[in-house]
Structure 1
């Protein structure tokens, strides 16, 4: 079975003897959190430091997702890896895969996904925790970066499907910020127009507790590339608020 190894990471993995599925599966590391034991199997995440290069190594066994195209299931990493490649092809900023492979071992369906660590980046959750201490300029730059990311994603015809602040990473770049996405398993094509777009945006702002109407309006203005007091922004703001009320009422 052919495994995927990114050209930029091959030499590093070869140098450390980690350019094969078996070597990465056997590697002993301490998990960064408790294993996920849903879906009838398990899935774990490990930090992997190889000199100046840093990665996250994810391993799973019988941790499957099912769909109409794959009724018998496939490792969730397989879907995430396809989406990582799709994002890269579409030019949507996201985590980068270094290695991917699957194996069937005596009926056990194993998968490995290695991605480059986003060292130097901070998830939006971390920025929100510091929100009151940030300058007005920093806040606006962060909102602008998130708006650009969301627009780029949707213009590429994709819905993230899990657009939480913990899945948006930012870092300072020049005079502003740049943003990228992680956790792409639930990504799907954007099929329902504005409804799909609002679904992603509402998911984000509902969990951005430090953002009030002014910040949400600023986000939508940047996303729509329209003045903050425009009728179009007002309309989207009303739709986001309506969806939020419905979600909170049904919780």
Structure 2
């Protein structure tokens, strides 16, 4: 895969001397959290502020995922980058990649993924922490937005694979919310119809602990587009939740 630089970010990165792999790899920054280790390597995330724009710089070494197409492994960022681009092509709201590249060295595979920071957005977890304090109409708008996002995702033939509240970002507008997705490492095509859709939605509902039965129904109403099949979906999601809780 050739190095990728988004057209709208190229001039800014070039102006700061950061439009190539080696410059971004050598950049000295403080990690925003503890590096992920395992898979035989490491992966870390840094914030990069370039005046008028902010990014998250993700670097990894020998942090690989294996699949039938890549039995010997490939950097997890390579898969995430492909999924970001696929989501954009299919009209699914998602964070935006500014730069991606890989390098193979003797005994080492390196990868860099640079994404635009979602400044002005908050993840769903942020809203759930004070759910009872939020006005009823704003709660309804959040539920509607999340349901419509999931509907758009699945209508495009994709599943997120890790649909947790921390991976849904929301931005409040005058009278509504916008939503987008992050963390697409586990995303894949929707292969098994309703089974995959239930599998994708259930973790979101299980982890959104502030939501009651009415909240879940509102989200499902927005997801389904009508209420005719709401009971069956609620039953399937509950069965999936009980199964997951019994075997974790």
Establish whether residue 71 from structure 1 lines up as the match of residue 86 from structure 2: no
1:173, distance to aligned residue in structure 2 (A)? 2.0
Q: Given the alignment of the two structures, is residue 236 of structure 1 paired with residue 233 of structure 2, yes or no?
A: yes
Indicate the residue corresponding to 1:91 in structure 2.
Answer: 91
2:2, 2:244 → 1: CA distance? Answer: 44
Stretches of structure 2 that go unaligned for 5 or more consecutive residues are none
Query: What is the CA RMSD across the aligned residues, in angstroms?
Result: 0.9
1-structure distance, mates of 2:78, 2:223: 31
CA distance in 1 between counterparts of 2:44 and 2:11 reads 25
The residue that corresponds to 2:6 in the other structure is 6
Q: Following the alignment from structure 1 to structure 2, what is the Cα–Cα distance between the partners of residues 247 and 212?
A: 19
Residue 203 in 1 paired to residue 191 in 2? no
Matches within 5 A, 1:143-162: 143-162=143-162
CA distance in 2, matches of 1:190, 1:174: 34
TM-score (norm 1): 0.97
Normalising to structure 2: TM-score of the pair? 0.98
* Separation in 1, partners of 2:130, 2:55: 26
Q: Which runs of 4+ in 1 moved over 3 A?
A: none
| Cα deviation digits, residues 22-45 of structure 1 (max 9, x gap) | 000000000000000010100000
| Structure 1 segment 75-224 matched on structure 2, within 5 A | 75-224=75-224
Alignment length (residue pairs): 248
**What does the per-residue CA deviation read over 1:20-75, in whole Å, with 9 as the maximum and x for residues that have no partner?**
10000000000000000010100000000000100000000000000011101100
Q: Deviations over 1:181-204 (max 9, x none)?
A: 000011111011111111111110
